[in-house]
Amino acid sequence: MKVSLYRYRLPLSQPIQFHDQQISVREGLLLKWESSWGEIAPLPGFSKETLAEAEAEALLCLKALKMGRPLEPQLPSVQFGFDCARRQWPAKMNAPHSPYILLLGSPDEIIWGWREWLYDYPAKAKLKVARHPMRDEVAMVRELCRMAPKLKLILDANCGWTREEAWTFMSHLNAANIEYIEDPCARLEDIRAVASHTGIPVALDELLSLEPRWEPFPQLKAIVIKPTLIGSLSRCKALIDKAHATGLKVIISSCYESQLGNRQLAQLASEWAPEQAPGLDTLRYFTTNVLKAETLHVDEQQLELLWQS
């Protein structure tokens, strides 16, 4: 059996902030298992493990496999990459719903970019919040909705507010324009409290990897599955089954994986949540591609080989 591990570096078209870390280059690993592939790409600021730790565990598992003593990875991003590389993917990948648009930048930049749509506005868009002064973000949301009154917004706070801050922000929103707010606070009890008080729908995202024993509540409308943060495909599927059993929406979302990982996430979205648009609108922030345009096969020439069996 031939197995190879590669490293990639993909420049981004603009620096992107992930909690307290800003990156201008996305780095990760690609695992080739015979003719199948998986991606191991911890997201700085979000993943529990660093890329160096993921690489060390991947190499440890691969060397143990070669010696006839298989080890199963324990780090979430490594579990996801190994599971994808060993999965039987269909010969023809399905196309899920078109992903909703992700708007990045300062409030002023987002408003100016929004005006360039010239009234042909998308029906749904996602915004990062809890990054700039609250008055600026509230004004931004109101201005976007003023220009596109039928707009449905997904707001992602990345656990950035206290209970009081989330309460204040959400009380200034028009619920008719809000699909839901992802992770307004860092604690599940705070999210439940502010959602109950304001009536604004919420979703759980990165908290799913921190609080696995979540239970549904009236304002909880969706869970957002980021397999790179969750780990194994079986764990992802268990979360999805629980969500569907309780009537929640499921959105498959990316962690700024490369084009390979994004394509595999799109396939998983078409299998696991075919009725929902996935959160995969991240590729437009990459300036290069690990896939060959004509075949969509991985271009191994631009990767750094780390290990081969």
Which residues belong to the active site? Answer: 128, 226
How far is the C-alpha of 154 from the C-alpha of 206, rounded, in Å?
Answer: 15
Q: How far is CA 294 from the centre of its chain?
A: 27
Task: At 78, list the tokens.
Answer: 């490594």
**294 burial level (CB within 10 Å; 0-12, 13-18, 19+):** exposed
How far is the C-alpha of 169 from the C-alpha of 134, rounded, in Å?
Answer: 7
Q: How far is CA 202 from the centre of its chain?
A: 16
Contacts of 279 (CB under 8 A, 6+ apart): 99, 100, 102, 126, 224, 251, 252, 253, 254
Rg (CA), the chain: 20
103 three-class SS: strand
Beta bridge partners of 252: 225
What is the per-residue burial (b if ≥16 Cβ within 10 Å, else e) of 115-139? eeeeeebeeebbbbbbbeeeeebbe
Which amino acid, one-letter code, is at 215?
A: E
State the number of CA atoms in the 13 A half-sphere of 194 facing the CB. 27
How far is the C-alpha of 173 from the C-alpha of 138, rounded, in Å?
Answer: 8
How far is the C-alpha of 59 from the C-alpha of 189, rounded, in Å?
Answer: 39
Task: At 298, list the tokens.
Answer: 């991985």
How far is the C-alpha of 298 from the C-alpha of 291, rounded, in Å?
Answer: 4
Q: Output the CA–CA distances (angstroms, integers) from residue 206 to 4, 102, 156, 183, 203, in the order listed.
A: 30, 17, 10, 7, 10
